[in-house]
Structure 1
C-alpha cells in the first residue's frame, strides 16, 4: 500500500534514519527522521501561484514539540499544546536561517515548513534532527531548493569535540554549538561557550562540517529514490539595460547619499533619489504597472552595487570608517535611581537602555517542556520598539526576532554569571533598544554586562560583543567590523561574536550567499577579537568590575544551612511556624529538602530577625547563657518565657526578683520582653530560667546576692534547700513522704485499697514491714 523509501547510517553512536512515502503523503515533501528513539516529522507544502504584487519570499517555518513525545501531559489550565514556547520559536528560526538563502532570487511562492517532535528519548535535543528532516523534505519536494543542508551539534569536553552529545554531557562541557552547512560551505552557526579561544571555536565548526557532509550524502541518497520532479522556473529576464539606465539617472545621487554619516539625513537623500526614479518610470510605463514596479525593484540592486564596489575597491564604508574600525562608544551606568542596576550603552547610532533586577527564588522562570519541569534563575528580555528606527509600526508582544536576539545576548552573558551557591539571586536583564543602526543584540550584550556589574552581580569578567559583515565578490572579499544596518542589508554575512578578555562566550553566523570558506571565517574571527577588545576598553571607562555592594533597593539574601532533621521544626505543622516567621519579620524564607534556608528582604533588620528566629528553633540552649525572650504564659508559680524563637522555659516566681514576689503578675505581663539566663536544662529538655540575675535594661549578668543553695541530693533527700514545716518558701528533708502540708516525714505510700505500697508490689501486704 505504501511506497516507502528509507535510508540509514550510523552517526555519532546512533542510527540516523530518513523515511518518506508512508506518512503525510499529500504534502509536497514529508520526511520522518529518526535518531536513536527521537522521531521528528517534517512536512513541506508550497503554493503553486504567487499572489499579485508580492515582491518577497514568504517562507514560514513552524517547529512544535508534542508533549506525548516524552510521555507527558502539558501543565497549566489548558491541557494541550498552544502558542509557541521560547524554545519552539528559537528552533523555528534555527531551521529558517540556513535554508532561506538557498532559494533562487525572484522565487516568491509561499512555502510552509512544519516540523513536529513525535518521540523524544531524553538524550539528544531534537532541534538538529528537525533541521535535517526539513532539509530532506525540501530536497524531495520539487521546489527550487539549492540544498540540501545538514546540521550537527558539537560539544567540547576535556579538550575533545563530541558529536551530538547527550544533554547532560553537553551541559557539563564548555561548548554547545550547532552548525548548518551544505556539502561545500557553512551556512549558519549558533553557539554558547565558556570563554573558548578562536582556534577552538573554528575547530568545532570544521569538525561539525565534516560530519554534516555525511548527512548531506544521506539526504541525496533519499532524493535519488524519492524526489519529485523539479518545478519549472520562469526564465530570468535580463535587466542589465534597465539597471544601467537607473545608474545614469540616480547613480551619482545614491553614491553621494551613501557617503553621508548621519542615518536620518542619508535616508532622506536616498528617498529623494528613489522618488526621482519612480517619477521617471511612471511617465514611461503608465500602461503597464507591473513593468513599472519591476523596474523600481532594481533601485535596491543599484544601491547594493554602489556600496559593495566602494568597499571592495576603495575600502570606503558608508560612514567613512575603515573596514576594521568601531564606531564611537559612550557608556554610562546607574542612570536609573530605583533600578537595581542600569546602563546606557551607545555605539554610533545604536543605543540600548539595559537594566538588571535581582529577585528571590520565587521569581525564577518555570519552564514546562519535553524534558520536564525546570526553573531558570537568569532571564534576558529584548525589546525593539519601532521608534528606535524612526518608524511607525507594531508595538506589543515580542516578535520572533526579539526572542532570538534576546537569547543570543542571554547565551553571551550566562557563561560569566556566578553560581547559585555563590549568588543566590534570580536575575533579570531587560534591554530596551532606543536607537538602532547596527547590531542591537551586541549592544544588549555590552549594556547588559554593565547593568549586571552596576547591580553588584559578581561577573567573572565583563563581556562585549561585535557584529561583523562581509562583502564577497567571486574570490575577492572584505570583512567589516561593527556593521551598520545598511551594510547588513546589502552585505553577505551577519556574524556576531561576544566574549570576555579570556575567550568567546557566544558566536552566531548567518550567510546570505552559498556559504563561506575557512579563510573568510578565520579573518572574521581575528578581526572580531580586535574589535571586542576595543569595546571592552571603552566599557571599562564607565565601570570595570562589579560593585561590591548591592543597590539599596535590591533584596538581600542570606543563606543558612540547618540539619535536615530540623526542617520539620522550622516549617511547623502545615507550615504554621514558617508562615509566622514571614508574617512577623517581613522577610521571605525559602527552605529546600537539604536544609538550605534562604532569607531575603531589602531590610537587613528583617533578615536578622528571621535568622535569629530560625537559629532559635534549631540551636540548643546553653546553660549559663543570656537570651532575649518574651512572656507567653503566666501561671501561679511563675511565667513561661519564649526565647531563641522556638523554645520555652519557666521563670519560677522565686527567680523573678531578689526579693520575695507574691504573684508573678506583680512583675511581668503576657507579651512583655524580658532577658533571661538559662539555669538548668533537665534530661527531658525542660528549661529553668532566671530573670533576677540579669539586668533587664542592659542584658548584663548581675551578681547573685542570694545565699548559695545546698547541693541537690537524691529524691529522698534535700531538693531545694531547707524549708520550714508548712512553709512554701522552703523544704526540709523530705525523707519518707509525709503529708502534703509539711516538709517532714510523709511515711510510706499506700495503694488504692488502703494497703501500704512500699517495697515490691508482688509482696503481700501482711508480710510487709511496718
Structure 2
C-alpha cells in the first residue's frame, strides 16, 4: 500500500492528512485535503549544527497558480516572489511552530507549504500550520508539538469554525487561533468593534474545536512517526557562569543601569558594566580561545540581565524606563507636518515615533491582487516602512521584509474596519507608516499615526482607532501583564499581544506566545488592560484631532461622481476614445463604470466641475416639450439639423419652418443661424423632431398630415397648404 490517510471532522467538513505517498525522501511530508483545497507540506533539517546563536528556521508558503487552473500573469508566465497573502500565511505557520523547538536547537530547519489545489472556499492559510504540525510530528526533527490552527467566524451570532469564503463575507469577525493540547499559542484577528468577551469566547471555542485535529496528529505520530535525532543541548556553555556573573553584576550596579530611562543610555551603561566584568575573566582578548570564552560570557551576561529585569517587573512592578505595568509612555502628536501631502501626522510614544501619511487617488490607483483567490482590486493600501536608522543601526536596505508586510497587514486590518465605503467616499486610499524611531510597538504607533493622517486629510472615518502592545512576564503561577511594551520587554518577555480598536470595541489583534501558552484568564486580563491603554491613547489623539476635518484637505484631489444612462456611455467615450481624451485634456481623469457611474478626478475643483458640466451636457437626454436656442449645423433638402446642446442635434423638418410653403431650406435659414426650437417628439432610437415654437398650433404636426398624392414631392416634402 502506498501512503496512509487519517481523517477527522472539522467545522462540519472532513479533514484528511495523508503521508507516505508523496515526497518520501524528505524527513516529514504530508498531503492535507479540506474540501477541494490540497496542500503538500514538508519539513527538513540539516544534519550539522549551525554556528548561528539563534534558531535558523524558515517557513515558505508557495502558491501554485495551477491550483486554480490559472496561468500566472507575469512576463515569464511562471510564479515569482510570494505575494502578500503567501507571506502572511508563512508567518502564521512560523509563529505557531517556532516556540516549540528546543531553546538550544540550532540546526537549520525548513518547512515548505505548497498549495496544489484551491477551491476558493476553504482558505489554505489556516491549513498550512496544520500540515506543518503533522510533518514536523512525523519527522525526526526535535519539536514539542503537535499543534493545530483554525479560523473562527461569527454567523448570526454563532461562532463558526473555518467559515467558507462566502460565509466570511457576512462575518463581523475573522479570527485565526493556533494552540497545543493545553494552551493557545497564537491569535490573529480582524473585527468590527468586537467586544473583549466575544473575542475570548471565540478563542476558547477555537481551542476546544481544534482538539480533534491535535488528537489525529498524535495518532499519526504514534503509528508513523520517526525517532527524533539527538542534538547537543550541552553546547550552551553559559549556564554555569550565570550565578557568578549575577553576583558581580549586582555588585557593579546592574539594577541602576537597567532602570535608566533612555534606551541608548541604558544600553551604554549595561554594555560598560558587561565589558568591565568580562575583562576580569579574559584580560587578553587576543589569547587562544579568548574569543569563544568572551562570547560565552556575553551570552551569560545577557541571561543575567534578562533575569534581573524579569525579577524587577514581577516583584517590584518596576520597568526599565521607570513605569509601572499599566502606564503608557508619554505621547506627543503633530497634525499636518507635511505641507503638500493630502494628510499627515506624527505620532510619538516614548522613544517610538511614526510619520503617518495619507494619499487619496482614483480607481486607476487601486492594486490588482493576483493570487489564488478570485481576482480583485483593493482600494485600500497600508505600507509600513522600518528603515535601519529607526533603531540607530546600519543595515543593507532592500525590498520589504516579511516583518514589514506582517506589521503593515495588522495595521491595515485595524483601520479598514472604520473606513467609509467606496460609494460614500470614492477615493482609493494609501497610508504609509514611516517608522522614524523604534523602541517597541511601532506597528501600533503606525495605526495611530495612520488614523490621524486620514482625519487630517478629511476622510470621513467612522471612529478613531488606536493600538497598544501588551506584554507578559510569567514565572510559574506568578505573572504580570505589561501595557505599551518596550523593545527590551518584547525580547525578554513571554508574550507580544497587540490590540487595536475604537472606544467601542476591538478591530484587530495579534498575539504571539513564547512560552507553552496562556490561559483564558490571562487573555481576559490582558484585553481589559489593553482597553484602558487604548482609551488613554484615544484621549491623547482627540486633543489634537477629535474627528476628521470637515473639509477635504486643500492639497487633496477632488472627485465628483455623477450618474448617466448606461446607454449613453458611448457618448462619453466617443469613437475610439476621442471624446474621453478631449475631456481629460481639460485637466481631469475620468472613470466610467458599466452601471453608468462616472467619476471625475482632478487636482483642482474648477477643472473637475468643468468636466462634469461637459459630461452632463453630452449625456443630457432631451424630452418632448423642452425649448432650446439652437444653431443650424446642417441643411438638407428635407430640413435642417439643429444643435441643441453639445453632442445632441434635432431635426427641424422643412414643413415645420413656416406657415407658408418653403421651397428650399436655404430660403429660410442657413448653417450658423440661431433660432428658437421646441422638441415635438423623441422616438425610441433617440431621434428628435423639432418645431419652431411660434408655429405650434398654426401648422399640422408631421405625423398628422396625410401623404401627398401623385408625384412632385421634393425630397419627401409634404404638400403645400391651401
Q: TM-score, normalized by length of structure 2?
A: 0.91
Q: Distance in 2 between matches of 1:709 and 1:44?
A: 89
Find the counterpart in structure 2 of residue 700 from structure 1: none
* Secondary structure of residue in 1 paired with 2:282: helix
Aligned to 1:176: 174
User: Which residue matches 2:439?
Assistant: 437
Does the alignment pair 1:190 with 2:192? no
Per the TM alignment, residue 270 of structure 1 is displaced from its structure 2 partner at its CA by 1.9
Aligned-pair CA distance for 1:634: 8.2
- Residues 687-721 of structure 1 show CA distances to partners (whole Å, capped at 9, x for unaligned) of 5488xx9xxxxxxxxxx9xxx787004779999xx
Q: Larger deviation: 161-170 or 72-81?
A: 72-81
Match for residue 476 of structure 1 among 474, 478, 500: 478
C-alpha distance in structure 2 between counterparts of 1:521 and 1:260, whole Å: 30
Q: CA deviation at 1:55?
A: 1.1
Equivalence for 1:65? 63
Structure 1 regions of 5+ residues with no counterpart?
656-661, 694-703, 720-733, 748-770
Measured after TM superposition, the shift of residue 330 of structure 1 is 1.0
Q: Counterparts of 1:98-109 in structure 2 under 5 Å?
A: 98-109=96-107
Identify the residue that residue 88 of structure 1 maps to in structure 2: 86
Q: 1:621 to 1:219 in 2, by over 3 A?
A: same
**Is 234-243 or 96-105 further displaced after alignment?**
234-243
Shift of 1:10: 1.4
Aligned counterpart, 1:280: 280
- Are the aligned partners of 2:8 and 2:16 in contact in 1 as well (CA < 8 Å)? yes
Deviations 1:616-675 (A, max 9, x none): 3333235675668787668999986644332024799999xxxxxx999xx9997xxx98
CA distance in 2, matches of 1:630, 1:464: 61
Helix, strand or coil at the partner of 1:183: coil
SS at match of 1:172: coil
Give, in angstroms, the shift of residue 108 of structure 1: 0.7
Question: Does the 8 Å contact 2:44/2:141 carry over to 1?
Answer: no
Structure 2 Cα separation of the partners of residues 739 and 469 of structure 1: 96
* 1:597 counterpart residue number: 598
Q: 1:645: which partner in 2? A: 646
After TM superposition, the structure 1 = structure 2 runs for residues 326-725 of structure 1, keeping only pairs within 5 Å, are 326-583=328-585, 585-622=586-623, 642-649=643-650, 677-682=676-681, 685-686=687-688, 688=690, 711-713=698-700
CA drift of 1:614 comes to 2.8
Between stretches 202-211 and 646-655, larger displacement belongs to 646-655
Q: Is the 8 A contact 1:277 1:296 kept in 2?
A: no
Alignment check: 8 A CA contact 1:735 1:744 kept: no
* 1:27 lines up with 2:26 in the alignment: yes
> Counterpart of 1:48 in 2: which secondary structure?
strand
1:250 is matched with which residue? 249
Tell me the SS of whatever aligns to 2:126. Answer: helix
Rg larger in 1 or in 2?
1
CA deviations 1:114-168 (Å, max 9, x no partner) are: 0000111111100111110001111111211011111000001221100000012
- Contact kept? 2:327, 2:483, Cα under 8 Å: yes
Residue 314 of structure 1: how far off its partner (Å): 0.5
- TM-score, normalisation: structure 1: 0.85
1:267 aligns with 2:267: yes
Cα distance in 2, alignment partners of residues 60 and 746 from structure 1: 94
Distance between the aligned counterparts of 2:191 and 2:448, measured in 1? 17
Q: Deviations over 1:696-748 (max 9, x none)?
A: xxxxxxxx9xxx787004779999xxxxxxxxxxxxxx9998798xx99989x
Q: Tell me: CA distance 1:635–1:225, structure 2 relative to 1, closer, same or farther (3 Å).
A: same
1:628–1:421 Cα change, 3 Å? farther
Measure, in 2, the Cα distance between the counterparts of 1:140 and 1:397: 35
1:350 and 1:631, CA in 2 relative to 1: closer, same or farther beyond 3 A? farther
**Structure 1 equivalent of residue 164 of structure 2:** 166
- What is the CA distance between 1:574 and its match in structure 2? 3.5
Q: Deviations 1:314-340 (Å, cap 9, x if unpaired)? A: 101111111100011111211111111
d(CA) in 1 for partners of 2:233 and 2:132?
Answer: 27
3-state secondary structure, aligned to 1:434: strand
Residue aligned with 1:324, SS: coil
Task: Please state how far the C-alpha of 1:356 moved relative to its aligned partner.
Answer: 0.7
**Could you list the per-position Cα deviations for residues 477-536 of structure 1 after superposition, in whole angstroms to 9, with x for gaps in the alignment?**
000000011111111100000000110000100011111111211110110000000000
Residues 43, 628 of structure 1: alpha-carbon distance in 2 compared, 3 angstrom cutoff: farther
> 1 CA distance for matches of 2:193 and 2:260?
38
Task: Choose which of 188, 198, 201 in structure 1 pairs with 2:199.
Answer: 201
Of 109-118 and 680-689, the range deviating more from structure 2 = 680-689
> In structure 2, what is the Cα distance between the partners aligned to 1:117 and 1:545?
44
State the SS of the aligned residue for 1:94.
helix
Question: What is the CA–CA distance in structure 2 between the aligned matches of 1:602 and 1:628, rounded to whole Å?
Answer: 34
Q: CA 1:86 to 1:570, structure 2 compared with 1: closer, same or farther past 3 Å?
A: same
Q: Partner of 1:117 in structure 2?
A: 115
Give the match's secondary structure for 1:531. Answer: helix
Contact 1:612 / 1:644 at 8 angstroms: preserved in 2? no
SS in 2 for 1:372: coil
Q: Which 5+ residue runs of structure 2 have no aligned equivalent? A: 658-663
Over 3 Å counting, the alpha-carbon distance change for 1:638 and 1:456 in structure 2 is: farther
Q: Are 2:640 and 2:665, in contact at CA under 8 Å, matched by a contact in 1?
A: no
Q: Which residue of 1 aligns with 2:309?
A: 307
CA, structure 1 residues 296+681, in 2 after alignment: closer, same or farther (shift >3 Å)?
Answer: same
| Residues 646/259 of structure 1: CA separation in 2 closer, same or farther (3 Å cut) | same
Does 480-489 or 239-248 show the bigger shift? 239-248
Report the number of matched residues.
Answer: 705
CA distance in 1, matches of 2:674, 2:281: 96
